[in-house]
Structure formats: structure tokens, C-alpha cells
Amino acid sequence: MQTDKIVIITGASRGIGAATAKLFAQNGYGVCINFLSNDMAAEQLKHEILQYTARCITVKADVSKSSEVQRLFDTVDKKLGCLSVLVNNVGILKTQCRLDAMDEQRFHQVLTTNVMSCFLCSKQAVKRMSTQYGGVGGAIVNVSSGAAKSGSANEYVDYAASKGAIDSLTKGLALEVAGEGIRVNAVRPGLIYTDIHTSGGEPNRIERLKSKIPMQRGGEPLEVAEAIYWLASEKSSFVTGSFVDIAGGL
């Protein structure tokens, strides 16, 4: 079921990003796997994706830096073609602590990585998709977090703040480009089984907290990927500036 559509997924070598990349490939998209450091994971994912599509590339790039984002998008232009969908999935968090125990460097890194990457990649995508620039339209899906609403007190206030910024960026950009053929939406995952919790210092965090989830379980990366794919597809053609919470009722 190959299509002529192309997707870039940032931070795609693991977790939600990897599940999303495989799902788009299974639906015939050409896929660009962006990653920062884990070459082995990116290549393994590419090997899996090549079972579904012959069009898959990996691009190692720090998407919080303008020059590397430019290189990422230029590479996709040359090797895959006209961009159809951007999934801004990159996100980091640090070890759990209160805000008054955080240092400036940590706060700056979390916001720079999570927010600047979304801004820079969205800017490049708009310049390629917008009818104002001669494009044919497209979709941007941002991966926010339930933390944008909860605030993640005593754990990740900096991460929550960065995701709150993603929500504002999603809404504002959606309104700016709605008349130019581009839809911009976001998903807000809750407690999902990925290794990001290890980065926060508590690999079993979901097991500790799942009793607070109305559905009494954590979510799977594919459950988030399915929502991302729907928002990118024509099945959501009248949806923009919207948020899908994938949090088991939280």
C-alpha cells in the first residue's frame, strides 16, 4: 500500500517515536527516522521498517539546533521528496526533584530540547507544506504530555512547563496556517510504558502510579502512535488546533 507521502519523526529511535515510525511505514509512507545518539537502535528500526516500505532513511541530528534541523530537512528533500507529515516527538526529562532543587542548566536544557526542537522543525515544515510557499499542504502532530495539565509537581515541573509551551505553540501555529493547507494538532500521552521513566530515575514509575489511572493500567506506545497517525491522516481532515489525551481517563 505504498503512497507518495513522506513523514519525518523526530526522536524516533525508541518508544513512541519508534512505534509511530513503524505504523506510518505499514501504511505506505516513506519514513525519516531522526535520532540524536543511538545509531544501533536507529538502524535496527530502519531494518524493521524496510519490511513495509522501501523508502526509509535515518538522519542523526540534534533538532534543538537550527543548522542541524536545516540539514535534516534538506536531506529529506533530496532523498525522500516532498514532506507530507511532521511528528515533533523529541522530548527529554531529568531526574525527579522539586523546582527549588533544579539548577539553571537543567531547566534550560529541558526547555531548549523540548520546545526549540518543535519550533525549528515546525518552521521548516511550514516552509515546505504551506500553499503560501507553493506547497500542497500537510499535517504537523506534536507530542505533548499530560504533564502540561498536571504540572508534575515534585517530579518534573521543568518538563511540564516545556509541554505547556508545546500546547500553546500547537494552538497558535494551527490558527496561523489553517488557511494554508496545514493542520496542526497534538497528542498528550499520560503514563506510557517507555524508557523515558528510567531517565527520571524511576523505571517502575507506572507500576507505582497505575492505581490512580481510571483504567488501572499504563498505556502502550502503539496506542499513542495510533492517535498520531489518525491526526496526520485525512480521517481527521476537519481537525486542527486540537488535543487528544491518551491517558486512560486521567
- Cβ neighbour number for residue 44 with a 10 Å cutoff: 13
**Catalytic site includes residue 133:** no
Out of 52, 159, 193, 229, which one is annotated catalytic?
159
Cα 54 to Cα 130: distance, rounded to the nearest angstrom: 27
**pLDDT at residue 197 in the model:** 61
What three-state secondary structure class fits 236? helix
Q: Is-above-0.85 flag for pTM?
A: yes
Averaged over 64-86, what is the pLDDT? 98
Q: Which of 30, 249, 32 is nearest to 121 (CA)?
A: 32
What three-state secondary structure class fits 130? coil
Check pLDDT > 70 for residue 138.
yes
**pLDDT at residue 200 in the model:** 59
What three-state secondary structure class fits 74? helix
**pLDDT at residue 206 in the model:** 81
Yes or no: say if 185 and 174 are a contact pair by the CB < 8 Å rule.
yes
Ordered by where they begin, the domains of the chain are 6-246 (3.40.50.720)
Q: What would the DSSP string read from start to end of 147-208?
A: HHHH--TTT-HHHHHHHHHHHHHHHHHHHHHGGGTEEEEEEEE-SB-STHHHHTT-TTHHHH
Reported confidence tier of residue 36, pLDDT bands at 50, 70, 90: very high
What tens digit of pLDDT does each residue of 184-240 get?
999 999 998 887 766 656 778 888 888 888 999 988 999 999 999 999 999 999 999
Cα 30 to Cα 55: distance, rounded to the nearest angstrom: 5
Sign of CA dihedral 43, 166, 138, 245: positive
